Amino acid sequence: MKKKIAVLPGDGIGKEVTRGAIEVLEAVAERYDHLFQFQYGEIGGSAIDKTGSPLPDETTEICRSSDAVLLGAVGGPAWDDQPSNLRPERGLLKIRKDLNLYANLRPISYYASLSEASPLRKEIIEEVDFVIVRELTGGLYFGKPSERTTYKGKEAVIDTLFYQKEEISRIIELAFQLARSRRKKVTSVDKANVLESSRLWRETAEEISAKYPDVELEHMLVDNAAMQLIRNPKQFDVVVTENMFGDILSDEASVLTGSLGMLPSASLSINGPNLYEPIHGSAPDIAGTNAANPIAMILSAASMLRLSFGLTEEAEAIERAVKDVLDSGFRTSDISKTGARTLTTTEMVAEIKAAILDQAAISDIMGAYA
Ligand code: IPM
Ligand code: MG
> 24 and 71: one domain?
yes
> 44 and 131: one domain?
no
Q: For a pocket test of ligand 1, which of 55, 74, 247, 254 has the largest count of ligand atoms closer than 8 A to its C-beta? A: 247
> 146 and 195: one domain?
yes
Q: Which of 192, 224, 257 is the last residue of a domain?
A: 257
> 162 and 236: one domain?
yes
135 lines ligand 1 (CB under 6 A): no
Q: Is residue 110 part of a domain?
A: no
Residues 154 and 159: their CA atoms lie apart, in Å, by 17
279 CA to centre of ligand 2 in angstroms: 7
Total number of domains constituting the chain: 2
Residues of the chain with pLDDT under 50: none
- Spacing of C-alpha 193 from chain mean position: 29
Q: Are 330 and 340 in contact (CB under 8 A)?
A: yes
Averaged confidence pLDDT in the chain: 96
For residue 303, what are the domain limits? 1-104+261-370
> 253 and 128: one domain?
yes
Question: Ligand 1 atom 5: the closest Cα is on which residue?
Answer: 89
Q: Is residue 311 part of a domain?
A: yes
pLDDT (tens digit per residue) in 77-127: 999 998 988 999 999 999 999 999 999 999 999 988 898 888 999 999 999
Name 250's Cβ contacts closer than 8 Å, sequence gap at least 6.
Answer: 106, 108, 132, 134, 263, 265, 279
Q: For a pocket test of ligand 1, which of 90, 92, 137, 260 has the largest count of ligand atoms closer than 8 A to its C-beta? A: 92
Share of the chain above pLDDT 90, in %: 90
Q: Which atom of ligand 1 is nearest to the CA of 75?
A: 6
**Residue among 157, 135, 140, 7 at smallest CA distance from 67:** 7
CB crowding 29-42: b at 16 or more within 10 Å, else e: bebeebebeebebb
Q: Are 296 and 308 in contact (CB under 8 A)?
A: no
Q: Which of 193, 226, 257 is the last residue of a domain?
A: 257
Q: Is residue 113 part of a domain?
A: no
Which strands make up the sheet holding 68-73, listed edge to edge?
A: 35-40, 2-10, 68-73, 274-278, 264-269, 101-109, 129-135, 238-241, 185-190, 216-221
**Residue among 104, 151, 101 at smallest CA distance from 270:** 101
> 86 and 157: one domain?
no
> 279 and 249: one domain?
no
> 145 and 247: one domain?
yes
Strand partners, 108: 130
10 CA to centre of ligand 1 in angstroms: 13
Looking only at the bridges linking them, the beta strands covering 2-10 and 68-73 are: parallel
Catalytic residue list contains 247? yes
Helix intervals (H) in the chain: 13-32, 45-51, 57-64, 88-98, 122-125, 165-180, 196-209, 222-231, 243-254, 295-307, 312-327, 345-369
Catalytic residue list contains 165? no
∠ CA 165-171-176, rounded to 5°: 120
Question: Ligand 1 atom 6: the closest Cα is on which residue?
Answer: 89
CATH of the domain at 77: 3.40.718.10
- Of the chain, the end-to-end C-alpha distance in Å amounts to 26
Catalytic residue list contains 3? no
Residue 103 backbone phi and psi in degrees, to 5: -125, 120
| DSSP state at residue 140 | G
> 214 and 84: one domain?
no
Name 46's Cβ contacts closer than 8 Å, sequence gap at least 6.
Answer: 9, 10, 11
87 CA to centre of ligand 1 in angstroms: 13
Q: Is residue 111 part of a domain?
A: no
Q: Which of 199, 232, 257 is the last residue of a domain?
A: 257
> 245 and 137: one domain?
yes
Q: Is residue 114 part of a domain?
A: no
Question: Ligand 1 atom 7: the closest Cα is on which residue?
Answer: 89
Question: Ligand 1 atom 4: the closest Cα is on which residue?
Answer: 247
> 289 and 202: one domain?
no
Residues 48 and 211: their CA atoms lie apart, in Å, by 46
Ligand nearest to the backbone CA of 73: 1
89 lines ligand 1 (CB under 6 A): yes
Q: Is residue 165 part of a domain?
A: yes
> 142 and 183: one domain?
yes
Q: Is residue 296 part of a domain?
A: yes
Q: Is residue 20 part of a domain?
A: yes
